[in-house]
A and B are shown apart, each in its own frame.
Chain A
Amino acid sequence: MKNSIQLILAIAFLGAFVFNDVFAQDSGQIAELKQIKQDVESLKPGKSRFLLRGYAHAGLEYHDEDDELTFVGGAFNPLFVYQQSDRLLFEAEVEMKFEENEFEIGLEFANISYILNETLIIRAGKIFVPFGIFTERLHPAWINKFPNFPLGYGHDGILPGTDLGVELRGAAHAGNLKYNYSIYAINGPQLDEGAEHEDDIGKLIYGNIRDNNKNKAIGGRIGIFPFSNSSLELGFSAQFAKVGSDNSEFNDIGANLYAFDLSYIKAIPAIKSVIDIKAQTNFINVDDADYPDPEDPTGVETFTFNNKSEAYFIQGSIRPSFVGNRFFQNMELAMRYSDIQTPEGAHWHTEEDQLDIGLNYWLDWRTVLKFTFRKSGQGVDESEEEHKESGNAFFVHWAIGF
């Protein structure tokens, strides 16, 4: 009897001890869990958040014209995207590069967007002008399938790049047809009246920090997706502007610009590949004017020309994304034809075309090695400036988006 009481007591004592220990352990774990939860919650991001991204590229180029082999680039474009709330976003990109032996830094864009409703967004600041698709969507080095731009694009091109202004944009469905649109008012292009280079008289100057008149350039783009799988997009852009400065004899001169663009992307299982086609054609019409003839020292003689320019490109690429071999999956063959014509009679008259053929190797979705051969067609180029946009050339470039 005595023994069994002792045994019961011993068991009870042991049980209490074990229970106590387990309980202590449990409450310790609970406290620990609470602490972890608190720590995690303190790390939970608020509504505002940002991304620091961007891209960089550099390479080696051989230009037939001057028979030189040069390392080029070292361009670095940091991109800052700041999400202030579910509706407000700020984006800005700085462009840093070497040009003609000098370090250049520029503000590519800086703008805020506010989502007004499902189908309407307002954006203001320095923006990519939504004129066609190349500049706004395809030019970043890790997206562009070539190390160079098609003829007519870029900072010295004949087409709009970035500008200051305000834009409404969005995407919606009309029935089952998806479309997107953008409408904007910007400072717009200015007529080159020959102040800096007499030879440039009659050209349009883009990306002006200050307007030369009260008139704003107004334009827009509409893109439609005829197929419900979004594989094809057809776009039309237009822009109207007064381009002469208010206090000059050219104050009446206006310009209208039009562009058509096409994007088509399709996976074709039969050839285990994805094909990608992009094209854009641009028409730039500036009213005729009588310009002072730079060759006449008395300044009485004038000259004029039919101030219409055109530029277009078409590119196609194929990537065997669905083949078994990893190496071939990452290869891409790309071809682009581009053509430019500026007014006959202008001192900046040019008629050129070129073909770029490229073999790209994608290290990941935004890191690429490009091997491009450029063949320039017959062309006249009456402008005296030297430029590397034409002539046969060979490029080896890398580009990374991060």
Chain B
Amino acid sequence: MKNIQIKELQLWAMVAALILFLSTVVISCSSTSQISAAKGGAQLWGENCLRCHNAPSPETFSDTEWDVAVMHMRIRANLTDEEADKVVDWLKTAN
């Protein structure tokens, strides 16, 4: 019984920590920073799109295909909103 209470406590503590964390995410953090704001799409592509697999070159896809692929990556690969936007714009002009 004691065991269960401790576990429930742990759980509530975690839920509280989670809510706290999420509120800080939503309130205080932004998708950009001073450093990243100064970077262009090509640079962000060069820094990010090779982290998990080889970086695809712009000619790989058409504009519409890039829209879907980069949105997919934004979610799957945890890209920032800014990275996704700048990279997709660059890929679409360079393909």
Given known pairs A137-B77, A228-B35, A366-B54, the reply for A242 and B7 (CB within 8 Å) is: yes
- Which single member of A119, A169, A401 contacts B31 (CB below 8 Å)? A119
Contacts of B3 in A (CB 8 A): 252
Contacts of A118 in B (CB 8 A): 30-31, 80-81
A340 to chain B, nearest CB (A): 24
B16 contacts partner chain A, Cβ-Cβ < 8 Å: no
Total count of chain A residues near the partner, CB < 8 A: 57
User: In chain B between 77 and 91, which residues have their CB closer than 8 angstroms to a CB of chain A?
Assistant: 77-81, 83
Residues of B within 8 A of A (CB): 3-4, 7, 10-11, 14-15, 18, 21-22, 25-26, 28-36, 47-48, 50-57, 60, 64-65, 67-69, 71-72, 74-81, 83
Picked from B21, B34, B53, the residue with its CB within 8 Å of the CB of A365 is B53
Neighbouring B residues of A168 by C-beta, 8 Å? 22
Instruction: Please state if B53 and A142 are interface contacts (CB–CB under 8 Å).
Output: yes
CB interface residues, A 226-250, toward B, < 8 Å: 228-231, 233, 240, 242
A207-233 vs B, Cβ < 8 Å mask (1 yes, 0 no):
000000000001010010000111101
Taking a contact as CB atoms under 8 Å apart, the answer to whether A51 and B68 are in contact is yes
Chain B residue contacts of A31, Cβ below 8 A? none
Asked if residues A172 and B30 are in contact (CB atoms below 8 Å), the reply is yes
B80–A228 CB distance below 8 A: no
The answer to whether A171 touches B80 (Cβ under 8 A) is yes
Query: Which chain B positions have C-beta within 8 A of A180?
Result: 78
Grouping DSSP codes into helix (H, G, I), strand (E, B) and loop, the A interface class, with mixed when no group exceeds half, is strand
Which A residues are CB-close (under 8 A) to B64? 45, 49
Main secondary structure of the interface of B (DSSP, over half): helix
Cβ of B82 to closest chain A Cβ, rounded Å: 8
Q: How far is the CB of A171 from chain B (nearest CB, A)?
A: 4
Q: Which residue of B lies closest to A401 (CB)?
A: B53
A178 at the interface (CB under 8 A from B): yes
A394 to chain B minimum Cβ distance, whole angstroms, is 25
| In the bound complex, CA of A121 to CA of B75 (Å) | 7
Do A81 and B47 have beta carbons less than 8 Å apart? no
> Given A138-B52, A230-B51, A365-B55 in contact, is the A172-B29 Cβ separation under 8 Å?
yes
B25 x A240 contact (CB < 8 A): no
Flag if B68 contacts A171 (CB, 8 Å).
no
- Whether A182 contacts B53 in the complex (CB less than 8 A), given A49-B68, A51-B69, comes out as no
Are A173 and B32 in touch, CB under 8 angstroms? yes
Say yes or no: A119 contacts B33, CB within 8 Å: no
With A119-B81, A137-B77, A240-B11 already in contact, the answer to whether A365 and B51 are too (CB < 8 A) is no
Check if B68 sits within 8 Å of A50, measured CB to CB: yes
With A120-B25, A171-B31, A172-B29 as contacts: A365 and B57 at CB distance below 8 Å: yes
